[in-house]
């Protein structure tokens, strides 16, 4: 069935399959009470049901009630783009379809204040604006223009095509020119169509019959964190994770989402699927953790080398100790890697030949390295031999230094 010439709220109910996510009743009531801000019923319903979904983010949007500005007898309630704002008369709040006004701010540099100019928008009412939001902000599949011969051979339903070619409507929207607009919904294909036409041009938009990634994330958060409806959260979460993986999303974000999906399945006693989600989360967490720790290991190694060169032994040892902790956590390197770091520090001190104290520090580092190599003597047998040779060479140098001093 094709639903023809429907209003914006009906179109959104079909498009979002009955899902809603908007400004809370409490927030709207608080603003109405404290600021004496009475909203038209259609605007209030839009905010309650769809104010936090993608239809309210894009080329135009309705402001949250606490950001609406009351100026004299007008309420500035929406942005159409970076330049234009819209307002309605406060006295018209009870009307079903109040008249709208364009709002232009004028900045008086001398008095450093803003004055507001309200221009009555002829034939432009609240329902027209909301239809414009649907047209401009929902994700489109494609755009088709006015060539009837091409459209007749396309997948456009006959009822929609008739509206495009000959339809008349009281719904008007304004871009550079005034257009008559129709919204239509195809039950079978789950597709939304919008037709806008004037004497010069006829344009047809077709929209995706599902939520954007941002909408799915908002709805997932709503059902998981606010309502603890884990079945609904799982429904949106499964679809969201497919989008995130295709976008090469940060591994940490993926891990967090898989963890939350595991929790959904756990709460629903879907144990095997929960285990799969937790395993995927663990995989991504480990990948991210390993990347971060390897970068940290490289940093602390560099920091230790720097302070060693600067002869700040305390800072150097602290940095190298961090390297050892990271290697132990990652279960990489073991005794051989730890011992090699100590040997390299000792060799560096020997090569500098700055003082006898440095050579004695190097001798101590060789001794520490040998103790660590003994934790895995089979794996470290060649390293033990090299360390012993280097230590022997260093002892000879120290002996020579002592003899030279005595002579």
Question: Three-state SS string across 363-376, please?
Answer: HHHHHHHHHHHCCC
* 198-214 mean pLDDT: 75
| 61 and 124 within one domain | yes
* Of the candidate ranges 256-265, 267-276, 344-353, 359-368, the one whose mean pLDDT is the lowest: 344-353
Instruction: Please indicate, yes or no, whether residues 111 and 20 belong to a single structural domain of this protein.
Output: yes
CATH number at residue 59: 3.40.1580
**Within-domain flag for 222:** no
The residue that leads in pLDDT, 42 or 242, is 42
Q: Categorize the per-residue pLDDT at 315 as very low, low, confident or very high, splitting at 50, 70 and 90.
A: confident
pLDDT value at position 272? 94
Q: List the beta bridge partners of residue 143.
A: 205
Task: Answer whether 63's CB lies under 8 Å from 75's CB.
Answer: no
Final residue before a domain boundary, out of 76, 109, 133:
133
103: left (phi over 0), alpha (psi -120 to 50) or beta: beta
Residues 54 and 85 in one domain: yes
Judgement on whether residues 116 and 181 belong to the same structural domain of the protein: no
Residue 2 has pLDDT above 90, yes or no: no
Residue 273 covered by a domain:
no
**Region 294-322: what's the mean pLDDT?**
83
Average pLDDT estimate for 262-278:
93
Identify the residue whose tokens are 């041009």: 201
Q: What is the mean pLDDT of the chain?
A: 83
Least Cα distance to 76 among 40, 102, 49, 94 occurs for 102
The verdict on residue 314 lying in a domain is no
Taking the CB of residue 234, how many other CB atoms lie within 10 A of it? 23
Tell me how far apart the alpha carbons of residues 76 and 94 are, in angstroms, rounded to a whole number.
16
Domain count, the chain: 2
Residue 12 sits in the same domain as residue 127: yes
Same domain as 101, residue 27: yes
Question: What range defines the domain where residue 185 resides?
Answer: 140-207
110-119, 205-214, 356-365: range with lowest mean pLDDT: 110-119
Q: How far apart are CA 234 and CA 257, in angstroms?
A: 11
41 and 103 in a single domain? The answer is yes
378: in domain: no
- Pick from 86-90, 225-229, 345-349: least confident: 345-349
Q: What is the mean pLDDT of residues 16-36?
A: 89
Q: Which long-range contacts (CB under 8 A, 24 or more apart) does 371-375 make?
A: 372/335, 372/338, 372/339, 372/342, 373/335, 373/336, 373/339, 375/334, 375/335
Name the β-bridge partners of 191: 186
The single residue listed with the structure tokens 């494609």 is 142
23 and 112 within one domain: yes
Q: Which range is least confidently modeled, 135-144, 254-263, 325-334, 394-403?
A: 325-334
pLDDT of 176 strictly over 50: no
Band of the pLDDT at 199, cuts 50, 70, 90? low
Instruction: Indicate if 125 and 187 belong to the same structural domain.
Output: no
Q: What is the pLDDT of residues 364-383, one digit of tens each?
A: 888 988 888 888 888 888 88
In a domain, 176, yes or no: yes
- Are 82 and 171 in the same domain? no
The arithmetic mean of pLDDT across residues 182-187, rounded, is 88
Q: Please check whether residue 114 lies inside any domain of the structure.
A: yes
11-15, 204-208, 290-294, 387-391: which range is least confident on average? 204-208
Instruction: Note whether 14 and 123 are same-domain residues.
Output: yes
- 48 is a domain residue: yes
**Is the pLDDT confidence value at 111 over 70?**
no
Any residues with CB less than 8 A from the CB of 371 and at least 6 apart, and which?
A: none
Q: Give the lowest-confidence range in 131-140, 143-152, 154-163.
A: 143-152
128 in the same domain as 198: no
Residue 333 is assigned to a structural domain of this protein: no
pLDDT at 171 over 60: no
């Amino acid at each position: 069935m094709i639903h023809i010439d429907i209003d914006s709220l009906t179109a959104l109910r079909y498009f979002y399959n009955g899902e809603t996510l908007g400004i809370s009743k409490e927030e709207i009531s608080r603003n109405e009470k404290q600021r004496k801000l009475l909203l038209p019923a259609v605007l209030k319903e839009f905010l309650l049901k769809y104010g936090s979904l993608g239809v309210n983010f894009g080329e135009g949007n309705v402001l949250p009630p606490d950001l609406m500005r009351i100026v004299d007898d007008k309420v500035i309630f929406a942005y159409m783009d970076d330049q234009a704002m819209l307002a309605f008369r406060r006295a018209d709040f009870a009307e079903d379809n109040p008249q709208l006004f364009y709002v232009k701010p004028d900045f008086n540099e001398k008095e450093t204040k803003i004055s507001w100019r309200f221009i009555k928008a002829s034939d432009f009412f609240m329902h027209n604006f909301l239809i414009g939001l649907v047209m401009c902000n929902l994700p489109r599949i494609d755009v088709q223009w006015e060539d009837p011969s091409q459209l007749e051979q396309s997948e456009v339903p006959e009822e929609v095509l008739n509206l495009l070619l000959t339809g008349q409507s009281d719904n008007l929207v304004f871009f550079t020119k005034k257009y008559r607009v129709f919204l239509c919904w195809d039950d079978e294909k789950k597709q939304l169509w919008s037709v806008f036409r004037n004497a010069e041009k006829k344009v047809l938009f077709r929209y995706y019959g599902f939520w954007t990634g941002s909408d799915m994330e908002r709805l997932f958060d709503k059902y998981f964190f606010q309502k603890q409806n884990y079945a609904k959260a799982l429904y949106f979460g499964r679809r969201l994770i497919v989008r995130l993986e295709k976008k090469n999303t940060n591994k940490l974000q993926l891990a967090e989402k898989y963890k939350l999906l595991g929790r959904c399945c756990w709460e629903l006693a879907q144990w095997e699927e929960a285990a799969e989600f937790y395993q995927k989360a663990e995989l991504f967490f480990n990948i991210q953790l390993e990347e971060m720790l390897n970068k940290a290991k490289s940093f602390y190694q560099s920091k230790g080398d720097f302070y060693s060169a600067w002869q700040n032994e305390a800072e150097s040892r602290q940095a190298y100790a961090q390297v050892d902790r990271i290697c132990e956590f990652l279960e990489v390197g073991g005794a051989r890697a730890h011992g090699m770091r100590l040997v390299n520090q000792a060799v560096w001190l020997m090569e500098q030949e700055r003082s006898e104290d440095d050579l004695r520090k190097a001798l101590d580092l060789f001794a520490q390295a040998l103790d660590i190599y003994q934790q895995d003597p089979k794996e470290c047998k060649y390293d033990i031999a090299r360390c012993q040779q280097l230590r022997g060479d260093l002892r000879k140098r120290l002996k020579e230094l002592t003899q030279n001093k005595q002579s």
